[in-house]
Chains A and B, each alone.
Chain A
């Protein structure tokens, strides 16, 4: 029986008090525990940013890599050993600026990874610049006169890319967040969860209060309805929906690749070249 304590890392998180990342760490541990996934079979790959420090704070196999490169590493891990539960984790700058192309293509490939983005709509670790999800007019160190660039919508982007599971959650609702992460891990294929996660130090606009006034739980009538998912993904303003917007079953990359389908690559024996393999070169 795996308990939440099995996932407790020995290093204490160094995030600012009340940072939205804390509840995500708790939710990830909770979801893994509920699903009885062993720490030894869990790999958490992160990028660079405040949130990306998370692998150090959880007892599992952690990989804290480069800014924006969460998903290629996570894909490599999954393809090497498809028995592992692979979680990609990073911030909005990491995922929607520097890692945009990887997000698009990993979603399209339907690699069986759960990608959780701690979306605080600002650069925290670099002390407060506008991020790809910062709202128009948002004042930051890099946009002293207000942001003039439209924010990216990660959910419609994920849908357009072909993600087979798209959801939004809120760090201020840890129970709901845990449930969504659990569903994301259970989903067979690429699952994307955008977590609205207030940065209490640098983002004075998108605060806990801001979200508490606006978020509501969305229950899809038909999770396979792409148009409905797209419409709900576009809703943002006085009301902000959270929940699973879209989920379909589709073949995973690992099911389609003729070598992957034979089982985890790490279990394949090393190929021993026979002389007859080389006859074509004679």
Chain B
């Protein structure tokens, strides 16, 4: 086992769907953030509106936290089932740890087997709540404030978050604050504080979810139109953009299906605004034909692809990195497709903005691939309003003589006219065409034009590769063993590396956020290492296959496909075993 840090708290709230688990977790996360603590959340829920089991975890620390963490200090449980599940030493929640700390729950729950590592803190949650309102969810607020009291969080900080959550002024907000105060005082009067002390601070932190960050990043990147069809876990981005459409001057449309959504976005980009579409694997499957069309007509297009467990409907509320093969293979024929996979919440914002620039400069489809874990968990970030310069790519001047929409160039990129421009009228065609956009596939197929156009479009790949930033690594300089990760597993892989380094194992990581085209510098990075290990949240190792076929290397594969993310201790053990194999 690996020892976890003392300078942090892992908090978890558990209950059934409809109990308000997620909003309770968010209140706690925000309270931590406002106390100057870095926080990462984890959302465990089911495909059900009422009932079932769900929980929401928040890890908080005055030091930066990179994942949901191991261990569990404080459990707030809203039902008996949650108490039994999360105190069980043989917990079966996808890698999450059982409680080794305090449990806060309503005193009416009495039917449970006592566990050694648990300090039970029954409270009159419902009785306190009942004094202020008939709404049974008010007891959540009482329990949260008790948890805050246990680690010495300033009540005013929590009260501020509660007020905002319940609409600032008004009876509901007041009731919640009053009930919270009573819960806070009750805990302090009846129980000792929890054994860990955290260093609170005044640092300003934003708390934002991955899907929201994609939406925000898109706005920073000049997005004007978002068209989509609802699908978990892509919807957190849709909801953010829809609820901020007026503020950010955005056109947002949910259309009749994903086919329509992607074709609308293509139409928007064609006509000169930055447009984006988004879905999860099943919905994206419907979009695939249009991906190739955007490439053929050389229309910029950003596609947000938020993966969940497949195949088919799969585990709709669970995470996986299982769509890479689908995205790689989307649409017939050869063309440049660029795939980004942000590694954390902040990067979800910055890479989405970059994707919009790259799509417009290279006039080709660019994917922002995340997974459910990234899309639906929140992280604290500093300086969210990052600097970004919009680059709208090469555009011809109005009235330019002998305009060729698909001009053959060394870079493969041709100046792109949009409707409304004087004198540049032309046809953009999904059939093969010549430099003017005239079809060369119908009356007479012209093999020379075909070859020229294929090579022109494919030339954009080398142009893009030439400007790729160096691949990022973590503690890799002296590493004998290298762990490859892509996308959201960065934080957990880094922590696993740190744990193994403490055991003097020379291991480091390669952290991939620009998945395809693959950066040629990877060839140099993997030279002379004892072992290459690939970590993926899927069954077959989809990135592993790409890596091996491109760089002809031997690898060890670590996968997880139970629907949950990796947890740091579990991953460190897997890496250690892979090294020994």
Point out residues on A near B: beta carbons under 8 Å.
9-11, 14, 39-43, 45, 48, 53, 55-56, 59-66, 69, 71-81, 83-84, 101-102, 104-105, 257-260, 262, 265-266, 268-271, 273-275, 277-278, 281-282
**Is there a chain A Cβ closer than 8 Å to B385's Cβ?**
yes
Residue numbers in A under 8 Å from B428 (CB-CB):
62-64
- Say yes or no: B267 contacts A53, CB within 8 Å: no
Q: Identify A14's interface contact among B227, B259, B269, B442, CB under 8 A.
A: B442
Q: Is the CB of A265 within 8 A of B273?
A: yes
A270–B219 alpha-carbon span in the complex (Å):
8
Contacts of B293 in A (CB 8 A): 65-66
Measured CB to CB, the closest approach of chain A to B35, in angstroms, equals 12
Query: Which of B208, B247, B423 is close to A40, meaning CB atoms less than 8 Å apart?
Result: B423
Across the interface, do A60 and B34 meet the contact criterion of CB distance under 8 Å? Answer: no
The residue on B at minimum CB distance from A64 is B429
Kindly name the residue among A48, A53, A61, A104 whose own CB sees the greatest number of chain B CB atoms within 10 A: A61
User: Is B275 an interface position by the 8 A CB rule?
Assistant: yes
Report B408-432 residues with CB < 8 Å from chain A CB. 418-431
* Distance between Cα atoms of A9 and B436 in the complex (Å): 12
Is B289 engaged at the interface, CB distance under 8 Å to the other chain? Answer: yes
> Given known contacts A40-B419, A66-B290, is B264 in contact with A84 (CB within 8 Å)?
no
Question: Contacting B385 at CB < 8 Å: which of A45, A73, A76, A275?
Answer: A275
Closest Cβ–Cβ distance, residue B406 to chain A (whole Å): 13
**Across-interface contacts of A104 in B (CB, < 8 A):** 256
Question: Can you offer 8 A-B residue contacts whose CB atoms are under 8 A?
Answer: A64-B427, A72-B261, A80-B268, A84-B420, A102-B256, A104-B256, A257-B251, A281-B384
Report A-chain residues with C-beta under 8 Å of the C-beta of B439: 11, 53, 56, 64
When the two chains form their complex, are residues B246 and A75 in contact, meaning their CB atoms are under 8 A apart? no
B257 touches A76 (CB 8 A): no
| Contact across chains for B297 and A63 when beta carbons are under 8 A apart | yes
- Nearest-neighbor residue (CB-CB) of A61 within chain B: B419
B271 at the interface (CB under 8 A from A): yes
Residue B142 at the chain A interface, CB threshold 8 Å: no
Query: Which residue from B256, B271, B390, B425 sits with its C-beta under 8 Å from A84?
Result: B271
- Whether A75 and B264, one on each chain, are in contact in the complex, defined by CB atoms closer than 8 angstroms, is yes
Determine the chain A residues whose CB is within 8 A of the CB of B216 once the complex forms.
Answer: 273
A270 touches which of B384, B390, B419, B430 (Cβ 8 Å): B390
Is there a chain A Cβ closer than 8 Å to B250's Cβ? yes
Taking CB atoms, residues of chain A closer than 8 Å to B247 are 277
Q: Is B220 an interface residue (CB 8 A)?
A: yes
Instruction: Please give the number of chain B residues whose Cβ is less than 8 angstroms from any Cβ of chain A in the complex.
Output: 67
Top 10 nearest A-B pairs by Cβ distance?
A: A76-B267, A72-B263, A80-B271, A62-B427, A76-B264, A73-B267, A61-B419, A72-B260, A76-B268, A105-B256
**Knowing A72-B267, A74-B267, A80-B271 touch, does A56 contact B425 (C-beta < 8 A)?**
no
B34 touches A282 (CB 8 A): yes
Contacts of B224 in A (CB 8 A): 80, 265, 268, 270
Please tell me if the beta carbons of A77 and B267 are within 8 angstroms of each other in the complex.
yes
When distances are taken between beta carbons in the complex, the residues of chain A under 8 Å from B260 are 69, 71-72, 101-102, 105
Q: Are A265 and B251 in contact (CB under 8 A)?
A: yes
**A81 adjacent to B271 (CB under 8 Å):** yes
Within 8 A of A (CB), among B427-475: 427-431, 437-439, 442-443
CB-based contact B419/A79 at 8 Å: no
Neighbouring B residues of A274 by C-beta, 8 Å:
385
Report whether A45 and B267 are in contact in the complex, using a CB–CB cutoff of 8 Å: yes
- Asked whether any CB of chain A lies closer than 8 Å to the CB of B239, the reply is no
Known: A65-B430, A259-B251, A282-B34. Is A41-B222 also a contact (CB below 8 A)?
A: no
- Taking a contact as CB atoms under 8 Å apart, the answer to whether B270 and A73 are in contact is yes
Given contact pairs A76-B271, A271-B219, A275-B385, A61 touches B426 in the complex (Cβ within 8 A): yes
Most buried by B among A14, A265, A268, A275: A265
Interface residues of B in 360-406 (CB under 8 A from A): 384-385, 390
Taken residue by residue from 184 to 211, chain B's Cβ proximity to chain A (1 for < 8 Å, 0 otherwise) reads as 0000000000000000000011111000
Task: Known A-B contacts: A63-B428, A84-B420. Give 13 more (CB < 8 A).
Answer: A40-B423, A53-B442, A65-B266, A72-B261, A73-B266, A76-B227, A79-B253, A80-B273, A105-B260, A259-B246, A270-B222, A273-B219, A277-B248
Q: Contacts A45-B267, A72-B264, A278-B206 hold; do A81 and B251 have CB atoms under 8 A apart?
A: no
Interface string of B147-189 (1 = CB under 8 A from A): 0000000000000000000000000000000000000000000
- By a CB distance below 8 angstroms, the chain A residues around B272 are 80-81, 266
Known contacts being A41-B420, A76-B265, A80-B267, is A59 close to B245, with CB within 8 Å?
no
Question: Is B225 located at the chain interface by the 8 A CB criterion?
Answer: yes
Contact with A along B273-284 (1 / 0, CB 8 A): 101000000000
Whether A63 contacts B270 in the complex (CB less than 8 A), given A76-B227, A79-B225, A105-B260, comes out as yes
Q: Taking the complex as formed, is B255 at the interface, i.e. its CB lies under 8 A from any CB of chain A?
A: yes
- B423 and A80 form a contact (CB under 8 A): no
Does the CB pair B267–A14 fall under 8 Å?
no
- Asked if B33 CB lies within 8 Å of chain A CBs, one says yes
Checking B219, B255, B289, B437 against A66 with a beta-carbon cut-off of 8 angstroms, the contacting residue is B289
Q: Is B107 an interface residue (CB 8 A)?
A: no
> Smallest CB–CB gap between B26 and chain A, Å?
11
Q: Which of B537-573 contact A (CB under 8 A)?
A: none
Instruction: Give chain B residues whose Cβ lies under 8 Å from the Cβ of A79.
Output: 225, 251, 253, 264, 267-268
A266 to B273, CA, bound (A): 6
- State the Cβ distance, A77 to closest chain B Cβ, in Å: 4
CB distance from B170 to the nearest CB of A (A): 18
B33 near A41: Cβ-Cβ < 8 Å:
no
User: Which residues of chain A are near B430, meaning CB under 8 Å?
Assistant: 48, 64-66
Bound CA–CA A43/B264 (angstroms)? 14
Q: Is B477 interfacial (CB-CB < 8 Å)?
A: no
Bound form: Cα–Cα A72–B227 in Å: 10
Interface centre among B256, B261, B289, B437 (most CB of A within 10 A): B256
Q: Contacts A61-B419, A270-B222, A273-B219 hold; do A105 and B255 have CB atoms under 8 A apart?
A: yes
**Nearest chain B CB to A127's CB is how many angstroms away?**
14
Residues of B within 8 Å of A73, CB to CB, are 263-264, 266-267, 270
Interchain CA distance A42-B265 in the complex, whole Å: 19
Instruction: State how many angstroms separate the Cβ of B307 from the closest Cβ of chain A.
Output: 24
| C-alpha gap A268/B245 in the complex (Å) | 13
Q: How far is the CA of A81 from the CA of B272 in the complex (A)?
A: 8
Shortest beta-carbon distance from B40 to chain A in Å: 15
Q: Is B249 positioned at the interface, with any CB of A under 8 Å from its CB? A: yes
Q: Assuming A62-B427, A76-B271, A105-B256, is B384 touching A265 (CB within 8 A)?
A: no
Residues of B within 8 A of A257 (CB): 251
Residue of A42, A62, A262, A269 most packed against chain B (CB within 10 A): A62
Chain A residues near B265 (CB-CB < 8 A): 76
Question: Which of the residues A59, A84, A268, A273 comes within 8 Å of B419, measured between beta carbons?
Answer: A84
**B522–chain A nearest beta-carbon distance, Å:** 34
Closest residue of B by beta carbon distance from A73? B267
With a cutoff of 8 Å between Cβ atoms, the chain A residues found around residue B421 in the complex are: 40
A10–B261 Cα distance when bound, in Å, is 33
Given A63-B297, A266-B420: A80 and B220 within 8 A (CB)?
A: no
From B292, which residue of chain A is reached at the shortest CB distance?
A66
The answer, among B204, B261, B438, for a CB contact under 8 Å with A11, is: B438
- For the complex, give the distance between the alpha carbons of A75 and B227 in Å: 11
B419 engages A41 (CB within 8 Å) = yes
Give the distance in Å from the alpha carbon of A62 to the alpha carbon of B225 in the complex: 21
Bound-state CA distance A63–B300 (Å) is 14
